[in-house]
Every structure is written in C-alpha cells, then in structure tokens.
Structure 1
C-alpha cells in the first residue's frame, strides 16, 4: 500500500548562488552562521532518520583556488551578460575561501546517515541564459561528477537546476552524464521559469506562501511520468522561506501553510517535496532551527499515524522507476 512521502532537497551553494544578485555586498556573518548551522541541521536529520538530498554546487568541493581551477571545464559558459558567470565574478573580485569552498561540510554530509549528495551544477550554471550552449552545460556537469568522484568517491545521481531554470532540451544530456533524477518546479503556472524573472509570478509565489493561489502542492506517485531517454522529474511542492524578524504573524502563517500541506499529503498518501537553501538559515539560525524541529516533529507524528515516509530524491526516483517497471510487467 502506498503511503505519503516527505522529500527534502537543499540547494547548497553559499556565495556561488547569489553572487550575481549581491556582488561583494554580503555580510560575512551570514555565511559564517550558515557554516555553523549545517552540522546542526545534519544532526537533526540523523536523529529523526530524515533522508535529504544536498544539491551542491561543484565548486564548493574544492579545497583551494588551485583545485577549483583544475576541475573547472575548458569550455566555460559564454553568457551574453557576463555578470551571470561565476568565472567572470571570480576574475573580477577574487576567490574567498570562506564563501566559495566547503569540502569539510561535504564530508560531514557524506558521513551523516540518510543523506544523499547531489549536484547543483559545477558553476551554478544557468541553462536558460542566452549565449551558453549544450556542450558548455555538458562540460559543467561533467566537472561536478569528476570532482565528486575523485575527491569523495561519490557518483551523483540527483540534479537541481540553479534558479530552477530547467532547459528541457538539456534533460537528455543530464541522463547521459549520470543524473537519473531532476527536481522539477511546482506545477502551478507562476512557478514555470523563463530566462528573466517575471515580477507578477514572484508576487504570486510570495502570496502562495500564505494563501492557496493554485492547485494543491502534493502529488501522487502515478502523476510522475518519465521518458526512457530523460531523468525522472520530481516536482517540488514548496520552498521553506526563512524566518523574518519582527513579524510573528507572518512567520506563524507561513509555517502553518507548510505543516498543513504536509498533513494533507500524508492523509492523501501523496508526495510533499520541500526545499530551501541552507544559507536561508544564516540571518536567524536559532529561529530557523526551531521551525525545522517543528516540521520534523510533525513528520514523526504523521509517520506514526499515517505511515508517512522520508525519501531522498534518489530513493523517491527509484520508487518511481520500480512502479513503472511493475506497471509494464502487468500490461504484458
């Protein structure tokens, strides 16, 4: 009998994920807090036997600038707007180990039970930006696989596209390079990404954190379809937005929305795919951890009363494939 599933995927990127938005105007304490809070998150996940996929920017695997350059591909992304290139940013502003490298945290992720190491591309690669090419993308994800295998003996199977910009023409390349599972966007129209951000879509996304603005966020296993020449697409359900100081009502309603959706998914025996960035905990780590504990506490309750399971992207994808094989066998 199918049960509800909680899947958590995290976009682990540090400054590589937001350099094109904030440049050098970042608070060092923000990323220092992020580095400190990740081991505490891992401890909570281990204590509660929660499977989590850590979609990690490949550049974070490097120990230093020399190693970063060694693993970088020969064919770099040729975006028309150079400000989106991690390599161009590094050339102009230099490398800062405290916000650009995190091999010690990746080791902790690997060593923590129930955690899956995934990819967020090597250089936070934008597949919908003009100027870049399929071969550049291929070399980028090849670099992620290479540094993960050579440094940590890890073969990466799950991929999250940066900014959730999914170029469907590149899905075949993902599978060819070993990525069997990809996180998709929620099915509502305001989550479908284009090259440039749509302000009206952003408004609907923000509002949807408090009030239902579209269809339900959970989905059944049967709703996940995949082609033999493409990865399994595992749609996201909800981003866990960070705690905001000075607005208790805002925080209460936002968290209640997540908890309510989780409970509904468990009762309907559906999948609820929650995601966020670890650096989202950087401004208010203690408050964010309290919220995470509430989410995990509810999960344990739903597990006890409704049989809800915790599955990483990889294990959820395996279940989708097994279901497909079973259906084909029954048809024959």
Structure 2
C-alpha cells in the first residue's frame, strides 16, 4: 500500500469561535471564508485531492427558525454556560448576518465536488471534555447531526471532535450511530486532549513552535496502527496554521516542516493527515491559498515519484476494514 495524504477541515463558521472571539474581531475571517472554500475546492479538484469536511449540524439549516425545529432531545449543561451554542442562540438578536451561521448552499457545493466527503463536527460544536456535559447529551447531539445530514441524503462516516476534545469514553457512541472513524490527536504530550481551562500558555507556545521546528516528530502512521480499534482513529499529523504577518519570515520553515512529514509518509508507505478550519484562511485568502497550492504541488510530486495517494477519511476507513492486524 503506498503512502496516503489526507485532509480534514473543521467547517463551523462563527459557531466554532463564538465563545472565544467577538464577532467584530473575527469578521474579516468570516467574511472571506466562502471565497476561501471555493478556492480550496478548486485546488483540490485540480490536484486530485480528496478531503473530509467535518461540518457542524447547525450549518445545514437556512435560518434560526428552521434550526429550532430540529434541536436534540437532550442539551448539554456546561458549567461554563457561555460554551453552549443553545444559550448563544437564545441570547443573540438575529439579524442579516446569517451567512456567518448557516451554510446549506456551501454544503451542497462541497458534496458536488469529486472526492469531497461531508463528515460531522457534531451538531452544536459539542465539547466532550468540559464539565457539566454527559454522554447522554453527547449521544443526543451526535444523533441529531447524523439525522440532519441523512435528511439531505448524506451518510455520516467520519467525525472530528470540536477543539480536539476526544473523549475515549464516548467512542462507543460513534459505533452505535454508524460512524466509522474519527480524527485523533498527535501523540506528543502538548497535543493531549484538554478542556479550555487546561489550555495553558506553555501548551499553546509548544504547539506554535512545533509548526516551524520539529518538536513532536513527523506524526505519520501505518494503516495497521489506525486499524487496531473501531471506530478507527485516523490521527492528525499537522495543523495548517494560517499566514501570519508577524511570522512571515518563518514561512519557509513552516512549509519545510510539512513537506518533510509528507515525504516521510510517502517513502515509508504511511499516512499523513493535514487539517485546519476554513475560516483560518478567511482574513488573507490569497496568501493562504498560495501556501496550500505549494503543499498540493508537492503532493503531486510525491504521487509521481512514490505513488502517494489522496483519500478522504471515509475512504480510508473503508480501506481499514480490510487491513489485517495482529
């Protein structure tokens, strides 16, 4: 089996950052997000790259009125109430900016493109490690996500945990609902799943440094590692950080860090998993797409030289069903 290149994107619009970023401070990212998505899809199509778009269920609706008719039967009761999308929904004065909260047309655009999988990012951007929520609330949330997608003809095979808060105790729920795989975290200690209060400055600093210099290794994986347990863990290799003007002098290091891990996967017949949020690209669309093109061009070289292949998470999960372990 040749090396594998996969991409997953956390599609969430403002719901994914509303508890940590003010609308005004983040509007530039949100305003440019749809242009970024169209640019990504064009690049994926031209380079033959398959990707999973982990989409929160809230985005499938046309407006808040339609959404209110499809809420889960159990809602999370976070101790920190500002984490709740439902509290935000009730407190918000809804106006003309619904394009920052709902995206049924965008979802249809994605699913119309070859090789693009619509996965789930839970229904409400659910936080699995925050105090107050329960496995019952998680089950209800995920069931709502699966049913919302199914009503639009989409079967859900792949999940990405919001804020990478993977909870091992909740994995059987994925199996119950027919979800075959999820994106796990890198193995280094500073990537360990944490709730928001555990995200220290040191942890954030180490992750930032790791984007430019090799602190955690290449984070590539054999299919045998991924196939050990169901649902299958298809772990992250690298977060694609957006362009930063203050760190622009380090762009070559950022690209080299990614390329070396991709080459390790291609030459070792392993898997490399790149991920980011579409809104990360929104504030500087052209520079971010240009950087992504360099990565995809390099994938093309690895495809030609070493036979590396691109698959989305659902396609990888289907392959893992046939991998012999043990």
Q: TM-score, normalised by structure 1?
A: 0.93
Shift of 1:221: 1.4
- The alignment status of 1:5 with 2:4, answered yes or no, reads yes
State the superposition RMSD in angstroms: 1.4
Per the TM alignment, residue 30 of structure 1 is displaced from its structure 2 partner at its CA by 2.2
Unaligned runs of 5+ in 1: none
**What is the CA-CA distance between 1:6 and the residue it aligns to?**
0.3
Residue 135 (structure 2) aligns with: 134
The answer to whether the 8 Å contact 1:71/1:146 transfers is: no
Aligned partners of 2:35 and 2:282 also within 8 Å: no
Aligned equivalents of 2:301 and 2:113: distance in 1?
23
Residue equivalent to 1:65 = 64
Shift of 1:66: 1.4
Change (3 A) 1:122 1:94: farther
**Could you say which residue in structure 1 is the equivalent of 2:178?**
178
User: Which SS does the other structure have where 1:22 is aligned?
Assistant: coil
Q: What secondary structure does 2:275 align onto?
A: strand
Instruction: Tell me the equivalent position of 1:205.
Output: 207
Q: How does 1:153-164 map to 2 (within 5 A)?
A: 153-164=153-164
C-alpha deviation, 1:198, in angstroms: 2.9
Residue 19 of structure 1: SS of its match in structure 2?
coil
- Corresponding residue of 1:146: 147
* Residue 246 of structure 1: how far off its partner (Å): 5.0
Q: Residue 23 of structure 2: SS of its match in structure 1?
A: coil
Q: Could you give the per-residue CA deviations for residues 123-166 of structure 1, whole angstroms, max 9, x where no partner exists?
A: 0000111111111111101111111111x200111000000001
Give structure 2 stretches of 5+ with no counterpart. none
Number of residue equivalences: 322
**Counterpart position of 1:124:** 125
CA gap of 1:39–1:240, structure 2 versus 1, over 3 A, is same
Query: Residues 269-322 of structure 1: CA distance to partner in whole angstroms, max 9, x if unpaired?
Result: 111000000001011100001011111111111000000000111111122221
Question: Residue 272 of structure 2: SS of its match in structure 1?
Answer: strand
| Runs of 4+ in structure 1 over 4 Å off | none
Q: Is the 8 A contact 2:219 2:237 kept in 1?
A: yes
Would you say the 8 A contact 2:10–2:276 is kept in 1? yes
Q: Secondary structure of 1:272's match? A: strand
Aligned twin of 1:16:
15
Q: Does 1:290 align with 2:290?
A: yes
Note if contact 1:5-1:269 (Cα within 8 Å) is conserved in structure 2. Answer: yes
Determine if contact 1:265/1:272 at 8 Å carries over to the other structure.
yes
Please state if 1:189 is matched with 2:224: no
Give 3-state SS (helix, strand or coil) of 1:260's partner.
helix
2:28 counterpart residue number: 29
Secondary structure in 2 matching 1:184 = coil
Distance 2:141 2:260 in 1: 39
Q: Distance in 2 between matches of 1:27 and 1:17?
A: 11
